[in-house]
Amino acid sequence: MEKIRVGIIGQGRSGRDIHRHLFETQAPLRDRYEVVAIADYIGERCVALPGVAPSPELKIYTDYKELLKNRDIDLIINATCSKDHVALSIEALEAGFNVICEKPVARRVADFDRLVSVAAVCDLVKSKAEGLSLRYGIPHIFTDYRKMLDSSAIDAVSVCTDHGSHALISLDALATGKHVICEKALSANRKDLGLMVAAESRYKDLVFSGVFQHRFESWYNYLRGIIKSGVFGRLLTINLNVLCWRGADYYAADEWRGTWSKEGGAVLINQAIHFIDLLGWMSGGVESISGSYANLTHLSIECEDVASASLIYKNGAVGALTATSSSPLEWEPVLSFNGTSGSLDLCNSEIRRINFRDKSLESQITREYAEIKQNDRELTLSKAYYGNGHPRQLANFISAIRGEEELRVPVHSAAHAVDIVLSVYESYNTGKRITLTF
Ligand SMILES: NC(=O)c1ccc[n+]([C@@H]2O[C@H](COP(=O)([O-])OP(=O)(O)OC[C@H]3O[C@@H](n4cnc5c(N)ncnc54)[C@H](O)[C@@H]3O)[C@@H](O)[C@H]2O)c1
């Protein structure tokens, strides 16, 4: 059988991975496919890969349009930046090739492309900004965010720095008239959290959002809806147990991690916070907390790798929260909702256990939940446990700026989870039960 002759456009990490995969990782593919052409406008990327013997016929192009003239190619793999996925794939199709485009999520990014463009990227480390600029074709780079904010070409800013710098950067951005979406956790301390929430009221004409992307996953919305509808009866206990692993290398990679001043905590404020937010968002909120924390195994960091809290919810239910980053399990968050009529445990968003007094209701919930999971399997750009909510949250942020949708995670709402986390620390430090502020 003749081999299928492949041309890969884009020799960034993805393009090289595909090349390597076709060559060696999946042995049966190697007998069926042969990479005969590669293209990347950065010439030095177009070199032989370690461990990959190039096809004797391999042609290298710095202009993909030249590759599209190579009539020996049967299949084009488009591994370019997401902004080029649609246009370049269509160009290759119209040139008569079969085309596979990397990352189906690109369609969503392409939708964004009609509405927004990334005008600038800023990082204290210039090479990081340059890398992103090259990879995604971002025209301007900065190392000083204030200089970036001076640009009138920017309408909105996404803040993705360490937690300790979120408030300062977000407030400076609002002060220059920019809309802001700030990654979790909004802040590393109470003072900054208060400033963020106050700024939301002050800058009413600007959209100011905190990131909690799991709120955009359809299955959590379904669960929140049935909790609100009362199918669980009176809610009695609502619990969360987060078991995960973060090693010394993770904490050593960036100087802010595991520090009180720049991260504001460790396992609670960084990993567990996603599910702490879901607890509050699904239940209607937490009223008060008594907590404790310790560092049992991560001796290189200042903050906690185990924590627990007893919660009283606004709806009267009580609950237990536990979290650790010293578990042998990489990522296992378990949420548990227990009421007088029904009870359900979710593990990594799958139903692990369900018991309702009304068995037909139990079957209906099981079926509907499975259908929602089945119908909502968009691929994600990154690690699976980040979920598929990020593009949706960005779409909501953009629509809110355009006045087309209500903002779904305003800052005061994102502040609740941070308040819960900071209250666990405060409770243990003071020996008191803490009533939440936000
Ligand atoms: N929502 C999620 O699922 C999710 C996932 C991962 C990270 N995050 C959040 O994203 C944020 C960043 O995390 P990360 O893992 O990318 O951290 P990181 O350390 O890899 O990246 C942070 C970057 O910010 C830069 N930076 C810091 N201060 C700056 C300043 N004043 N001006 C310009 N650049 C500055 C640093 O140089 C660094 O490159 C954190 O808030 C984290 O909690 C969220």
Residue nearest to ligand 1 atom 2, measured at CA: 386
CA of 272 to the centre of ligand 1 (A): 17
**What pLDDT is recorded for position 380?**
47
pLDDT of residue 171: 98
Ligand 1: distance of its center to the CA of 162 in Å?
Answer: 5
Give residue 254 CA to ligand 1 midpoint distance, Å.
9
What pLDDT was estimated at residue 52?
72
Axis-axis angle for helices 273-283, 218-229 (nearest 10): 30
**Distance, CA of 173 to CA of 155 (rounded, Å):** 10
Report the pLDDT value the prediction gives residue 401, as an integer from 0 to 100. Answer: 96
CA 357 to CA 228: how far, in whole Å?
18
Q: Which atom of ligand 1 is nearest to the CA of 257?
A: 19
Ordered by where they begin, the domains of the chain are 4-102 (3.40.50.720), 113-213 (3.40.50.720), 216-384+399-435 (3.30.360.10)
Q: How far is the CA of 226 from the centre of ligand 1 (A)?
A: 35
* Residue 54 CA to its chain's centroid (Å): 36
- Per 3-state DSSP, what percentage of the chain is helix, strand, and coil (rounded to 5)? 40, 25, 35
Nearest Cα neighbor of 307 from 374, 222, 225, 243 is 243
Q: How far is CA 402 from the centre of its chain?
A: 23
Per-residue pLDDT tens digits for 96-112: 888 888 654 444 455 67
Can you tell me the distance from the alpha carbon of 55 to that of 200, in angstroms, rounded to the nearest whole number? 58
* Nearest atom (ligand 1) to Cα of 387: 3
* CA-to-CA dists, residue 75 to 9, 41, 67, 228, angstroms: 11, 20, 12, 51
> Which residues surround ligand 1 with Cβ inside 6 Å?
122-125, 128, 145, 160-163, 165, 183-184, 211, 213, 254, 270, 386
Beta pairing, strands 350-356 & 342-347: antiparallel
Tally of residues, the chain: 438
Integer-rounded Cα radius of gyration of the chain:
24
pLDDT in the model for residue 136: 81
Atom of ligand 1 nearest to the CA of 169: 31
**Atom of ligand 1 minimally distant from the CA of 270:** 43
Which pLDDT belongs to residue 341?
A: 98
Contact call for residues 301 and 258 (beta carbons, < 8 A): yes
- Enter the pTM of the model: 0.79
The span from the CA of 348 to the CA of 278, in Å, is: 13
> What is the full per-residue pLDDT of the chain (438 aa) written as tens digits?
678 889 999 887 678 777 777 766 555 566 778 889 999 887 777 776 766 777 888 899 989 999 999 999 999 999 887 667 778 888 888 888 888 886 544 444 556 777 888 999 999 999 999 988 888 888 999 999 999 999 888 999 999 999 999 999 999 999 999 999 999 999 999 999 999 999 999 999 999 999 999 999 999 999 999 999 999 999 999 999 999 999 999 999 999 999 999 999 999 999 999 999 999 999 999 999 999 999 999 999 999 999 999 999 999 999 999 999 999 999 999 999 999 999 999 999 899 999 999 999 999 999 999 999 888 766 444 566 677 788 889 999 999 999 999 999 999 999 999 999 999 999 999 999 999 999
- For residues 245 and 164, give the distance between their C-alpha atoms in angstroms, rounded to a whole number: 23
Distance 263 CA to ligand 1 centre (A): 10
Closest CA to 370 of 347, 387, 345, 349: 349
The half-sphere exposure of 275 on its side-chain side, counting CA atoms within 13 A, is 27
HSE-CB of 255 using CA atoms within 13 angstroms: 0
Gap between the Cα atoms of 99 and 89, Å rounded: 6
